[in-house]
Each structure stands twice: as C-alpha cells, then as structure tokens.
Amino acid sequence: MAAPDLLTIPAAVLSAEAALDIALPALPSHSALCIGVTLAPDRFAAITACCLPYTSASEQDRAARFLHAADAVRHLYGRALLRRAAIACGVMSGVQEFDVNPWGKPMLPGAALQGNISHSGTQVWLVLGRDCDVGIDIESVQAPADFIDIASAFHPQELRSIREAPDSPHAMMRCWSRKEAVAKAMGRGLSLALDSYAVDIRVGAMDWLTHAPAGTRLADWRCADLPRAADYVGAVAAYGDCRRISTWQLKIETSPA
C-alpha cells in the first residue's frame, strides 16, 4: 500500500465564546483528519459554557469531580469536540451517550467513521477516520524522572534506542506518544502489552511502526507525527486503507490584556 498524502490545513483562531463553532473540513473516504486545539487558560469559563450543549449530564458530572479546573475543561472540550464532529458528519444527532468498547474507547455509531481524543496541558486533539481505525496521542515533552524504568516495559529495540539516543528523555516521550497512538487505534489502550509491538523513536521518522501488533499486518498501518509544538509531542496512527492524513490546528483567543 502506498504511503498516504500528508496535508496541512491552514491554522485558524477561535473565540472562547464560539470555541466549538467549527466548520469541519471535508473527510473523504479512506482518510484521517486530526484537529488540534490550543485552549486559553484564562478563558476556561467561556470554553466550558460552549461545551455544555454538546456534552451529556454524565460527562458534566464527571468533570465536576476533577480537582483541577484544567482537567475538567480538557475532558469536557474533548468530548464536546468529538460529539460536534460526529453530528457534523451525520452519524449522531443531539447529545447521546457514546458507546464504548471493552477497553473504554468511545465508539461512534456505524462502522464507517471512527474517532479518538487525547489531551495534555493546553492541547486537545481529535482524530476522525473514515474507513480506517484511528488513534491519537499528545504528551508533554518532559519525561518523568524514572523514564528509563518505565521504558523497561517497552520492546527491547525501543529501550535500547532510548538508552542510546542523545536526547533520551525526549526520545522516551516520542516513543510513548507513538506507541499510545497505535494502541488506541487498536482500541486497546494500555491493555496492549507494551513489548508486543515497536516504533522507530527517531525525530522525523515516517511510518514509524516497525513491529505491528499481533493480528495486524505492518503494511496496513499508516503512522505520522502531529505538527511539532513547543513543550508537546504527538502522534497519529491509522489501521486499514488510509490514503490521506490531514492536520488542522486551532487556537482559542486569550482575553485582551
């Protein structure tokens, strides 16, 4: 299978009062669309208000139980963005609960359209996949102090590469985000053994999956990094006949000084 086209949609700015008024770009058959939104911490109240019409009572109740406002806003905005996209694509109508698979991944109605969410810090990312399974992950570039201990659960090839990398902490986080994207495309998350598949950890690697998860063919995977941003690293993975991966970055305006 030929590598997919990688397209970048021009960035745009949203007001906090219209944080979900998004005209969804076209999503042709056999393609994936990644949408990344940079939240404005000083506009959390307005962003939350935008999320309410697109989130369920149970999602709002869960958000209310978070200790930190940032965690609540990320949770609500991610769910609202996925539901807003599902409505725009015609697979959902109104605020209905997402079905989840046995490992907790939200599932959209029908088989043709799939979605996945990830968030970290000020970043919320959504991937939609038509005719392919998709997973996305965004992480802080700052590795935990015990990152080598964590990496010991990875594939031996990855652990060796992380140890030898000149930027070992950042290499660890590139590896982690790429592995998470694959596991989430499988719908398995951390239930997928971390040493059962492997990725190339190098900066700028393309189609960086090197050992496919059991039951899948390497030729059927398409993987890419998300656009580089200060303090974050991210990845997207698609399994199936994915011929195009597009990325679109949005930023919510902060309050005037």
pLDDT per residue over 79-136, tens digit each? 999 999 999 999 998 898 988 888 888 888 877 899 999 999 999 999 999 999 999 9
Decide if 163 is inside a domain. yes
Strands 244-252 and 31-38: parallel
Domain CATH code at residue 230: 3.90.470.20
pLDDT tens per residue, range 33-74 = 999 999 999 999 999 999 999 999 999 999 999 999 999 999
Decide if 170 is inside a domain. yes
26 DSSP 8-state letter: P
Decide if 195 is inside a domain. yes
Q: Quick one: pLDDT at residue 190?
A: 81
Chain-centroid distance of CA 17 in Å reads 24
Decide if 74 is inside a domain. yes
Please say if the pLDDT value at position 3 is more than 70. no
Q: Domain range holding 24?
A: 5-252
Q: Quick one: pLDDT at residue 2?
A: 56
Please say if the pLDDT value at position 75 is more than 80. yes
Decide if 257 is inside a domain. no
Decide if 108 is inside a domain. yes
The H-assigned helical ranges of 65-167 are 69-88, 147-151, 156-164
Q: Quick one: pLDDT at residue 250?
A: 97
The overall average pLDDT reported for the chain is 93
Q: Give the number of other CB atoms < 10 A from CB of residue 28.
A: 11
Please say if the pLDDT value at position 8 is more than 90. yes
Name the more confident of 114 and 5.
Answer: 114
Decide if 28 is inside a domain. yes
Question: Can you name the residues that pair with 237 across neighbouring β-strands?
Answer: 135, 223
Say what the pTM is. 0.95
Tell me how many domains the chain contains: 1
Question: For residue 44, what are its two tokens?
Answer: 């959390």
